[in-house]
Amino acid sequence: MPAAMQGEMQPAIYRFKLGAFEVANILDGKVIRDGLHPSFGPERSADEARALCAANGIDPNRYLHPFIPTLVNTGNTLVLFDTGNGFLRRDYEQLRARLDDGHLVERLGAAGYKPSDIDVVVTTHGHPDHIGGLLDRGNSIFPKARYVFGATEFDFWKRGENVREARKFNRELFVKLALPLAERSTFVKPGDDVVPGIRAVDVSGHSPGMLAYHVESEGKRFLIWADTCVHYVMAVQRPEWTLDVDDDKEKAVATRKRMLEMAASERMPIASYHMPFPGIGYIEKSAGAYRWVPVSYQLNL
Protein backbone atom coordinates (compact mmCIF):
# COMPACT_ATOMS: atom_id res chain seq x y z
CA MET A 1 0.00 0.00 0.00
CA PRO A 2 1.50 3.40 -0.96
CA ALA A 3 2.66 5.64 1.87
CA ALA A 4 0.33 8.56 2.55
CA MET A 5 1.39 12.07 1.61
CA GLN A 6 2.36 13.97 4.76
CA GLY A 7 2.30 17.57 3.52
CA GLU A 8 4.90 20.31 3.54
CA MET A 9 7.39 20.35 6.40
CA GLN A 10 10.15 22.86 7.08
CA PRO A 11 12.15 24.19 10.04
CA ALA A 12 10.64 27.08 12.01
CA ILE A 13 13.44 27.82 14.51
CA TYR A 14 17.09 28.58 13.80
CA ARG A 15 19.32 29.29 16.81
CA PHE A 16 23.04 30.03 17.04
CA LYS A 17 25.69 31.54 19.32
CA LEU A 18 26.92 35.09 18.84
CA GLY A 19 29.81 35.56 21.24
CA ALA A 20 28.23 35.18 24.69
CA PHE A 21 24.74 35.82 23.27
CA GLU A 22 22.30 33.33 21.82
CA VAL A 23 20.19 34.37 18.82
CA ALA A 24 17.13 32.64 17.39
CA ASN A 25 15.09 33.44 14.31
CA ILE A 26 11.52 32.15 14.53
CA LEU A 27 9.10 31.71 11.63
CA ASP A 28 5.87 33.35 12.73
CA GLY A 29 4.14 32.52 9.45
CA LYS A 30 4.24 32.85 5.69
CA VAL A 31 1.97 33.67 2.77
CA ILE A 32 2.19 33.24 -0.98
CA ARG A 33 1.51 36.46 -2.82
CA ASP A 34 0.86 37.27 -6.45
CA GLY A 35 3.09 39.32 -8.66
CA LEU A 36 6.49 40.68 -7.70
CA HIS A 37 5.82 43.38 -10.28
CA PRO A 38 4.35 46.00 -10.05
CA SER A 39 4.70 45.85 -6.24
CA PHE A 40 8.44 46.10 -6.83
CA GLY A 41 9.53 48.57 -9.48
CA PRO A 42 6.16 49.93 -10.64
CA GLU A 43 8.14 52.53 -12.58
CA ARG A 44 9.90 49.73 -14.50
CA SER A 45 8.50 47.63 -17.32
CA ALA A 46 6.98 44.21 -16.70
CA ASP A 47 9.52 42.76 -19.15
CA GLU A 48 12.42 44.11 -17.08
CA ALA A 49 10.97 42.59 -13.92
CA ARG A 50 10.37 39.22 -15.62
CA ALA A 51 13.95 39.20 -16.91
CA LEU A 52 15.29 39.79 -13.38
CA CYS A 53 13.15 36.94 -12.05
CA ALA A 54 14.24 34.62 -14.85
CA ALA A 55 17.91 35.40 -14.20
CA ASN A 56 17.41 34.30 -10.59
CA GLY A 57 15.23 31.27 -11.25
CA ILE A 58 12.13 32.59 -9.48
CA ASP A 59 8.49 32.78 -10.54
CA PRO A 60 7.57 36.36 -11.54
CA ASN A 61 3.90 35.76 -10.75
CA ARG A 62 3.99 34.21 -7.27
CA TYR A 63 6.38 34.60 -4.34
CA LEU A 64 6.77 33.42 -0.75
CA HIS A 65 6.58 36.14 1.90
CA PRO A 66 7.66 34.95 5.39
CA PHE A 67 7.48 36.78 8.73
CA ILE A 68 10.52 36.17 10.97
CA PRO A 69 10.92 37.76 14.43
CA THR A 70 14.33 37.54 16.11
CA LEU A 71 15.05 36.60 19.73
CA VAL A 72 18.31 37.59 21.46
CA ASN A 73 19.30 36.12 24.82
CA THR A 74 22.15 38.19 26.28
CA GLY A 75 22.48 35.91 29.29
CA ASN A 76 20.85 38.61 31.42
CA THR A 77 17.97 39.75 29.25
CA LEU A 78 15.71 38.00 26.73
CA VAL A 79 14.91 40.47 23.94
CA LEU A 80 12.28 39.85 21.25
CA PHE A 81 12.36 41.90 18.04
CA ASP A 82 8.87 42.23 16.55
CA THR A 83 5.85 40.10 17.37
CA GLY A 84 4.57 38.88 14.03
CA ASN A 85 0.96 38.65 12.92
CA GLY A 86 -0.65 37.59 16.18
CA PHE A 87 -4.43 37.39 15.78
CA LEU A 88 -4.82 39.93 12.98
CA ARG A 89 -6.36 37.42 10.56
CA ARG A 90 -8.90 36.41 13.17
CA ASP A 91 -9.86 39.94 14.10
CA TYR A 92 -9.70 41.91 10.85
CA GLU A 93 -11.43 40.83 7.66
CA GLN A 94 -9.31 43.12 5.47
CA LEU A 95 -6.09 41.35 6.52
CA ARG A 96 -7.16 37.75 5.99
CA ALA A 97 -5.86 37.54 2.44
CA ARG A 98 -2.53 39.25 3.21
CA LEU A 99 -1.34 37.68 6.46
CA ASP A 100 -0.88 34.25 7.99
CA ASP A 101 -1.97 33.29 11.48
CA GLY A 102 0.73 34.14 14.01
CA HIS A 103 2.63 31.14 15.38
CA LEU A 104 5.23 32.99 17.42
CA VAL A 105 4.02 31.99 20.89
CA GLU A 106 3.77 28.28 20.14
CA ARG A 107 7.16 28.30 18.43
CA LEU A 108 8.69 30.18 21.33
CA GLY A 109 7.47 27.21 23.37
CA ALA A 110 9.20 24.81 21.02
CA ALA A 111 12.38 26.88 21.48
CA GLY A 112 12.10 26.51 25.26
CA TYR A 113 10.52 29.84 26.23
CA LYS A 114 7.20 31.08 27.64
CA PRO A 115 5.77 34.52 26.83
CA SER A 116 6.40 35.48 30.45
CA ASP A 117 10.14 34.83 29.93
CA ILE A 118 10.45 37.77 27.53
CA ASP A 119 12.07 40.75 29.27
CA VAL A 120 12.02 43.27 26.42
CA VAL A 121 9.87 43.49 23.28
CA VAL A 122 11.35 45.75 20.59
CA THR A 123 9.14 46.96 17.74
CA THR A 124 11.27 47.89 14.74
CA HIS A 125 8.36 49.77 13.12
CA GLY A 126 4.59 50.03 13.28
CA HIS A 127 3.39 48.01 10.28
CA PRO A 128 0.76 45.33 11.00
CA ASP A 129 2.93 42.23 10.64
CA HIS A 130 5.34 43.60 13.25
CA ILE A 131 2.83 44.73 15.88
CA GLY A 132 0.14 42.07 15.44
CA GLY A 133 1.36 39.98 18.36
CA LEU A 134 1.57 42.75 20.96
CA LEU A 135 -1.92 42.30 22.40
CA ASP A 136 -4.73 39.77 22.26
CA ARG A 137 -8.12 41.45 22.77
CA GLY A 138 -6.51 44.11 24.91
CA ASN A 139 -4.35 41.78 26.98
CA SER A 140 -0.56 41.81 26.81
CA ILE A 141 0.83 38.61 25.29
CA PHE A 142 4.16 39.24 27.03
CA PRO A 143 3.01 40.13 30.54
CA LYS A 144 6.36 40.92 32.15
CA ALA A 145 8.03 42.71 29.26
CA ARG A 146 9.26 46.25 28.92
CA TYR A 147 8.46 47.57 25.45
CA VAL A 148 10.76 49.54 23.17
CA PHE A 149 9.63 51.70 20.25
CA GLY A 150 11.49 54.11 18.03
CA ALA A 151 10.58 57.58 19.30
CA THR A 152 9.98 58.99 15.81
CA GLU A 153 7.92 55.97 14.75
CA PHE A 154 5.73 55.97 17.84
CA ASP A 155 5.14 59.71 17.63
CA PHE A 156 4.16 59.52 13.95
CA TRP A 157 1.47 56.90 14.46
CA LYS A 158 0.28 58.45 17.71
CA ARG A 159 -0.24 61.88 16.12
CA GLY A 160 -1.85 60.44 12.99
CA GLU A 161 -0.83 63.42 10.86
CA ASN A 162 0.22 63.05 7.21
CA VAL A 163 -0.62 59.33 7.16
CA ARG A 164 -1.08 58.35 3.52
CA GLU A 165 -4.44 56.89 2.56
CA ALA A 166 -3.08 53.35 2.17
CA ARG A 167 -1.91 53.44 5.82
CA LYS A 168 -5.05 54.84 7.49
CA PHE A 169 -6.11 51.37 8.67
CA ASN A 170 -2.54 50.72 9.80
CA ARG A 171 -2.80 53.81 11.99
CA GLU A 172 -6.02 52.44 13.56
CA LEU A 173 -4.21 49.19 14.36
CA PHE A 174 -1.31 51.02 15.95
CA VAL A 175 -3.68 52.98 18.18
CA LYS A 176 -5.33 49.74 19.33
CA LEU A 177 -2.24 47.56 19.70
CA ALA A 178 0.68 49.85 20.58
CA LEU A 179 -0.61 53.00 22.27
CA PRO A 180 -1.99 51.08 25.29
CA LEU A 181 1.60 49.97 26.03
CA ALA A 182 3.01 53.49 26.24
CA GLU A 183 3.33 53.53 30.03
CA ARG A 184 5.39 50.32 29.91
CA SER A 185 7.57 51.55 27.06
CA THR A 186 10.96 53.10 26.42
CA PHE A 187 11.38 55.29 23.33
CA VAL A 188 14.74 55.19 21.57
CA LYS A 189 16.55 57.07 18.83
CA PRO A 190 19.40 55.97 16.52
CA GLY A 191 22.51 55.40 18.60
CA ASP A 192 20.62 54.51 21.78
CA ASP A 193 21.19 51.18 23.52
CA VAL A 194 18.26 48.88 24.28
CA VAL A 195 20.46 46.79 26.57
CA PRO A 196 24.26 46.53 26.59
CA GLY A 197 25.34 45.13 23.22
CA ILE A 198 22.19 46.10 21.29
CA ARG A 199 22.08 49.54 19.65
CA ALA A 200 19.50 51.28 17.45
CA VAL A 201 20.37 52.21 13.85
CA ASP A 202 18.38 54.53 11.56
CA VAL A 203 16.78 52.72 8.60
CA SER A 204 13.79 55.01 8.09
CA GLY A 205 11.99 55.18 4.77
CA HIS A 206 9.97 51.98 4.65
CA SER A 207 8.23 53.56 7.62
CA PRO A 208 8.77 57.05 9.06
CA GLY A 209 11.07 55.96 11.88
CA MET A 210 12.01 52.33 11.30
CA LEU A 211 15.02 51.20 13.30
CA ALA A 212 17.48 48.38 12.76
CA TYR A 213 19.49 46.99 15.67
CA HIS A 214 23.20 46.29 15.79
CA VAL A 215 23.98 43.35 18.09
CA GLU A 216 27.53 42.72 19.34
CA SER A 217 29.05 40.29 21.83
CA GLU A 218 32.69 39.34 22.33
CA GLY A 219 33.62 40.94 19.00
CA LYS A 220 30.91 39.08 17.05
CA ARG A 221 28.48 41.36 15.20
CA PHE A 222 25.02 40.92 13.76
CA LEU A 223 22.43 43.31 12.30
CA ILE A 224 18.66 42.97 12.61
CA TRP A 225 17.48 45.25 9.81
CA ALA A 226 13.71 44.57 9.76
CA ASP A 227 12.19 45.59 6.38
CA THR A 228 15.15 47.46 4.92
CA CYS A 229 14.97 44.96 2.04
CA VAL A 230 11.81 42.86 1.79
CA HIS A 231 12.76 40.49 -1.04
CA TYR A 232 16.07 38.75 -1.52
CA VAL A 233 16.21 39.46 -5.28
CA MET A 234 14.05 42.46 -6.12
CA ALA A 235 15.08 44.69 -3.22
CA VAL A 236 18.72 43.61 -2.99
CA GLN A 237 19.69 43.42 -6.65
CA ARG A 238 17.62 46.48 -7.58
CA PRO A 239 17.62 48.73 -4.49
CA GLU A 240 16.77 51.73 -6.65
CA TRP A 241 13.40 50.21 -7.61
CA THR A 242 10.58 51.61 -5.51
CA LEU A 243 8.21 49.44 -3.46
CA ASP A 244 4.49 50.05 -3.13
CA VAL A 245 4.43 49.52 0.65
CA ASP A 246 7.32 51.90 1.41
CA ASP A 247 5.93 54.98 3.15
CA ASP A 248 8.66 57.36 1.92
CA LYS A 249 9.83 55.79 -1.31
CA GLU A 250 12.74 58.13 -2.05
CA LYS A 251 14.11 57.79 1.47
CA ALA A 252 13.61 54.02 1.44
CA VAL A 253 15.71 53.75 -1.73
CA ALA A 254 18.50 55.83 -0.15
CA THR A 255 18.36 53.69 3.00
CA ARG A 256 18.57 50.43 1.04
CA LYS A 257 21.61 51.66 -0.87
CA ARG A 258 23.33 52.87 2.32
CA MET A 259 22.66 49.69 4.29
CA LEU A 260 23.53 47.33 1.45
CA GLU A 261 26.88 49.08 0.99
CA MET A 262 27.57 48.92 4.73
CA ALA A 263 26.63 45.23 4.98
CA ALA A 264 28.71 44.32 1.95
CA SER A 265 31.80 46.22 3.08
CA GLU A 266 31.65 44.98 6.68
CA ARG A 267 30.65 41.37 5.86
CA MET A 268 28.19 41.41 8.72
CA PRO A 269 25.46 38.76 8.93
CA ILE A 270 21.96 40.22 8.57
CA ALA A 271 18.61 39.13 9.98
CA SER A 272 15.98 40.27 7.48
CA TYR A 273 12.31 39.90 8.43
CA HIS A 274 10.98 38.78 5.02
CA MET A 275 13.88 36.83 3.50
CA PRO A 276 13.60 33.06 2.93
CA PHE A 277 13.79 31.30 6.30
CA PRO A 278 15.90 31.45 8.43
CA GLY A 279 16.07 35.01 7.13
CA ILE A 280 19.79 35.32 7.75
CA GLY A 281 22.43 36.04 5.16
CA TYR A 282 25.23 38.22 3.90
CA ILE A 283 25.34 40.94 1.25
CA GLU A 284 27.89 40.43 -1.49
CA LYS A 285 28.91 43.09 -3.98
CA SER A 286 30.27 42.16 -7.38
CA ALA A 287 30.60 44.29 -10.51
CA GLY A 288 28.73 47.10 -8.78
CA ALA A 289 25.67 45.01 -7.93
CA TYR A 290 24.49 43.42 -4.68
CA ARG A 291 23.16 39.96 -3.99
CA TRP A 292 21.82 38.08 -0.97
CA VAL A 293 23.97 35.13 0.13
CA PRO A 294 21.99 32.88 2.52
CA VAL A 295 23.79 31.73 5.66
CA SER A 296 25.07 28.15 5.57
CA TYR A 297 27.28 27.01 8.47
CA GLN A 298 29.17 30.25 9.20
CA LEU A 299 27.30 30.91 12.45
CA ASN A 300 27.55 27.33 13.68
CA LEU A 301 31.35 27.09 13.87
Q: Which residues pair with 284 in a beta bridge?
A: 291
> In this structure, is residue 287 part of a structural domain?
yes
> What is the domain count for the chain?
1
- pLDDT for res 105: 98
* Cα–Cα distances in angstroms (integers) from residue 252 to residues 32, 81, 234, in the given order: 24, 21, 14
> What does the pLDDT look like over 232-275, one tens digit per residue?
999 999 999 999 999 999 999 999 999 999 999 999 999 999 99
Strand partners, 136: 139
Res 179: pLDDT: 98
The C-alpha angle with vertex 173 and arms to 171 and 176, in degrees rounded to 5, equals: 115
The verdict on residue 6 lying in a domain is: no
Helical segments of the chain, H only: 46-55, 88-91, 104-110, 128-131, 151-159, 168-177, 234-237, 249-266
Instruction: Answer yes or no: are the C-beta atoms of 67 and 85 closer than 8 Å.
Output: yes
In a domain, 221, yes or no: yes
* 5 lies in some domain: no
250 in a structural domain:
yes
- pLDDT score recorded for residue 1: 86
Within a domain: 2: no
Q: Does residue 268 lie within any of the structural domains?
A: yes
| CB distance 25 to 16 below 8 Å | no
Rounded distance, CA 216 to CA 192, Å?
A: 14
Does the residue 234 lie in any domain? yes
Q: Can you list the alpha helix ranges (DSSP code H) found in 165-244?
A: 168-177, 234-237
- Write down the pLDDT at residue 287: 84
Task: Note down the domain range covering 164.
Answer: 13-300
Q: Residue 54, Cα to own-chain centre: how many angstroms?
A: 26
Cα–Cα dist 281/275, whole Å: 9
**CATH at residue 102:** 3.60.15.10
Residue ranges in the chain whose pLDDT is less than 70: none
pTM above 0.85, yes or no: yes
